[in-house]
A = this chain, B = another copy of it.
Amino acid sequence: MMLQNDLLLRAARGQYVERPPVWLMRQAGRVLPEYRAVRERLKNFIELVTTPELAAEVTIQPVDLLGVDAAIIFSDILVIPEAMGLPYEMLEKRGPIFPQTIRSEQDLQKIRVADAPSDLGYVAEAIRITKRALSGRVPLIGFAGAPFTIFAYMTEGSGSKTFSTAKKILYRSPELSHKLLQMITDSTIGYLKMQIAAGADLVQLFDSWAGILSPAQYRTFALPYIAQICNAINEVPVTIFAKGAFFALTEFAQLKCHVIGLDWNIEPTTARQQIGNQKTLQGNLDPCTLYADFDTIRKETQKMVAAFGKQHYIANLGHGLYPDIEPDHVRCFVDTIKSLA
Bound-state CA distance A115–B287 (Å) is: 37
Assess whether B247 is in contact with A266, with CB atoms less than 8 Å apart.
yes
Residues of B within 8 A of A293 (CB): 172
Question: At the interface, yes or no: A164 with Cβ under 8 Å from chain B?
Answer: yes
Question: At the interface, yes or no: A251 with Cβ under 8 Å from chain B?
Answer: no
Assess whether B172 is in contact with A291, with CB atoms less than 8 Å apart.
yes
Residues of B within 8 A of A270 (CB): 247
Residues of B within 8 A of A246 (CB): 246-247, 265
Given contacts A246-B246, A291-B167, contact A267 B215 (CB under 8 A): yes
A166-180 residues with Cβ-Cβ distance < 8 A to B are 167-168, 170-172
Q: Mark A120-164, 1 if CB is under 8 A from B, else 0.
A: 000000000000000000000000000000000000000001101
Residues of B within 8 A of A247 (CB): 246, 265-267, 270
Assess whether A171 is in contact with B322, with CB atoms less than 8 Å apart.
no
Question: At the interface, yes or no: A217 with Cβ under 8 Å from chain B?
Answer: yes
Assess whether B214 is in contact with A286, with CB atoms less than 8 Å apart.
yes
Question: At the interface, yes or no: A264 with Cβ under 8 Å from chain B?
Answer: yes
Bound-state CA distance A311–B215 (Å) is: 23
Assess whether B164 is in contact with A288, with CB atoms less than 8 Å apart.
yes
Q: Chain B's nearest CB lies how many Å from the CB of A301?
A: 13
Bound-state CA distance A211–B161 (Å) is: 13
Closest residue of chain B to A324 (Cβ to Cβ) is B164
Q: Count A interface residues, CB 8 Å.
A: 32
Bound-state CA distance A217–B289 (Å) is: 10
Q: Chain B's nearest CB lies how many Å from the CB of A292?
A: 4
Residues of B within 8 A of A266 (CB): 215, 247
Q: Chain B's nearest CB lies how many Å from the CB of A189?
A: 28
5 smallest CB-CB distances across A and B, nearest first, come from: A167-B288, A171-B292, A168-B291, A214-B286, A214-B264
Residues of B within 8 A of A213 (CB): 265, 286
Q: Mark A253-272, 1 if CB is under 8 A from B, else 0.
A: 00000000000111100100
Bound-state CA distance A22–B37 (Å) is: 56
Question: At the interface, yes or no: A309 with Cβ under 8 Å from chain B?
Answer: no
Assess whether A217 is in contact with B286, with CB atoms less than 8 Å apart.
yes
Q: Chain B's nearest CB lies how many Å from the CB of A333?
A: 13
Assess whether B167 is in contact with A286, with CB atoms less than 8 Å apart.
yes
Residues of B within 8 A of A287 (CB): 162, 164
Q: Chain B's nearest CB lies how many Å from the CB of A36?
A: 18
Residues of B within 8 A of A96 (CB): none
Closest residue of chain B to A303 (Cβ to Cβ) is B216
Bound-state CA distance A244–B263 (Å) is: 12
Question: At the interface, yes or no: A104 with Cβ under 8 Å from chain B?
Answer: no
Assess whether A171 is in contact with B296, with CB atoms less than 8 Å apart.
yes
Given contacts A171-B296, A292-B172, contact A162 B265 (CB under 8 A): no
New A-B contacts (12) at CB < 8 Å, excluding given A161-B161, A164-B287: A167-B286, A171-B288, A171-B291, A211-B244, A211-B265, A214-B264, A214-B265, A214-B286, A215-B265, A215-B267, A244-B265, A247-B265
